[in-house]
Amino acid sequence: MEYRQLGNSGVRVSVIGMGTNRFGNKVEQAEVNNVIDTAVDLGVNFIDTADVYADNQSEVTLGHALKGRWDKFVLATKVYFKTGDGPNDYGASRYHIMNGVEASLRRLQSDHIDLYQMHRWDPLTPIEETMRTLDDLVRSGKVRYIGASAYAAWQLAQANLLAEMRGWSRFVTVQSHYHMLEREVEKEVIPYCQAENIGFIPYFPLAGGFLTGKYTREEGAPEGSRGESSQYVQQYMTDANYTRVEKLTTWAENRERTMAELAIAWLLAQPQVCSVISGLTRLEHLQQNAKAADWQLTAVEVNQVNDILAD
Ligand SMILES: NC(=O)c1ccc[n+]([C@@H]2O[C@H](COP(=O)([O-])OP(=O)(O)OC[C@H]3O[C@@H](n4cnc5c(N)ncnc54)[C@H](OP(=O)(O)O)[C@@H]3O)[C@@H](O)[C@H]2O)c1
């Protein structure tokens, strides 16, 4: 397994990470335990979850599975989205973050969170309040590093510059929507990350499964796959995208690789990407996706893939 620095922090994460938004509903506790056992064997140490995934059950199942082996993992969770019906049960206020961190720690059965991420920018809370609160959590030891999710480049710049001026902790990572068919972040966010050495964590790296190549023009979504019901996946099921995936699958197979491996390796070839947190609903997905870890695309190969994507 290859490890990369988590942005400009000293901690190292595996290039293959795990997205766990299906843990606790589609993936039950026994399977989560198996996945964590296998992750240890494969050297996969980076786990991404959030307080709201699977109605809190993603954190609960991880809490059980990680007991006694927290030192083998770097766990990232998030706060911001609605966790209750009260007027303060969402957002980036000191009130909600402080309540949120305690609730996550209880569910995770831990005394700390390795990477605590603001799930979204909050237009109603002054960024000074958010950053001061996050710094307090780092100083208290409850949180080790902080990150952002789906922030614009200007929001990251404002937050980190303020933190730097005050001597507070800065965001070491940003997590945003990024894969072969969704490249908006290449315009502003990734250049900002390059300038400041912020780690970039792509979310939906497989376009919800579409980039595994298991969706076909003839058959559509396979039985039991997310694309049967998810509009997010269905938006990619166009003729042009099927043509791209068919060509890319052939390109990968000529190198004895799969389409999913190519989607992951292509992300790992982009600047600042530290870990690819593909989601999984089966143990085999982790085993298959982990094979991308040793595939370093050359600059020429990345250009060939980009040419196919541009068609
Ligand atoms: N920060 C944010 O706002 C945000 C937003 C979204 C996601 N995320 C994070 O990003 C992670 C990844 O996103 P995601 O899971 O939604 O999407 P994804 O990684 O693009 O797609 C994962 C899905 O693809 C299918 N799959 C994965 N590997 C496969 C393989 N080898 N063969 C066949 N099918 C395979 C599985 O779905 P099926 O088995 O159902 O087909 C799996 O659930 C999440 O778990 C979460 O941690 C963060």
**What does the pLDDT look like over 209-262, one tens digit per residue?**
999 999 999 999 999 999 999 999 999 999 999 999 999 999 999 999 999 999
169 neighbors 135 (Cβ within 8 angstroms)? yes
Nearest residue CA, atom 10 of ligand 1? 203
From the candidates 3, 53, 151, 203, which is the catalytic residue? 53
What is the reported pLDDT for 16? 98
Q: What angle do CA 158, 163, 166 make, to 5 degrees?
A: 125
164 neighbors 170 (Cβ within 8 angstroms)? yes
CA distance 52 to 308: 37
Burial of 234 (0-12, 13-18, 19+ CB in 10 A): middle
User: What is the per-residue DSSP string for 222-266?
Assistant: PTTSGGGT-HHHHTT-SHHHHHHHHHHHHHHHTTT--HHHHHHHH
Mean pLDDT of 292-307: 97
- Mutate which of 203, 215, 261, 262 for ligand 1 pocket (most atoms within 8 A of beta carbon): 203
Mean pLDDT of 180-206: 98
pTM for this entry: 0.97
> What's the total number of domains in the chain?
1
Residue 139 CA, ligand 1 centroid: distance in Å: 33
Helix (H) or strand (E) run with residue 202 in it: strand 199-203
CATH number of the domain that 195 lies in? 3.20.20.100
What residues make up the domain containing 31? 3-310
What is the reported pLDDT for 74? 98
What is the reported pLDDT for 311? 83
Q: Is residue 145 among the annotated active site residues?
A: no
Nearest residue CA, atom 4 of ligand 1? 203
Residue 267 CA, ligand 1 centroid: distance in Å: 14
The answer on pLDDT for 196 being more than 90 is yes
Residues in contact with ligand 1 by the CB-under-6-Å rule are: 19-22, 48, 119, 149-150, 175, 203-209, 212, 214, 225-226, 260, 277-281, 285, 288-289
134 neighbors 98 (Cβ within 8 angstroms)? no
Residue 279 CA, ligand 1 centroid: distance in Å: 3
Instruction: Quote the strand ranges of 67-170, DSSP E.
Output: 74-79, 113-118, 143-149
- Mutate which of 13, 21, 274 for ligand 1 pocket (most atoms within 8 A of beta carbon): 21
Q: Nearest 5°: phi and psi at 257?
A: -130, 165
CA distance 91 to 86: 11
What is the reported pLDDT for 279? 97
Residue 280 CA, ligand 1 centroid: distance in Å: 6
**pLDDT for 76-127, tens place per residue?**
999 999 999 999 999 999 999 999 999 999 999 999 999 999 999 999 999 9
- Mutate which of 119, 206, 219 for ligand 1 pocket (most atoms within 8 A of beta carbon): 206
Mean pLDDT of 288-306: 97
**pLDDT for 16-71, tens place per residue?**
999 999 999 999 999 999 999 999 999 999 999 999 999 999 999 999 999 999 99
- Mean pLDDT for the chain? 97
CA distance 77 to 209: 22
Closest of 262, 211, 263 to residue 237, by C-alpha: 211
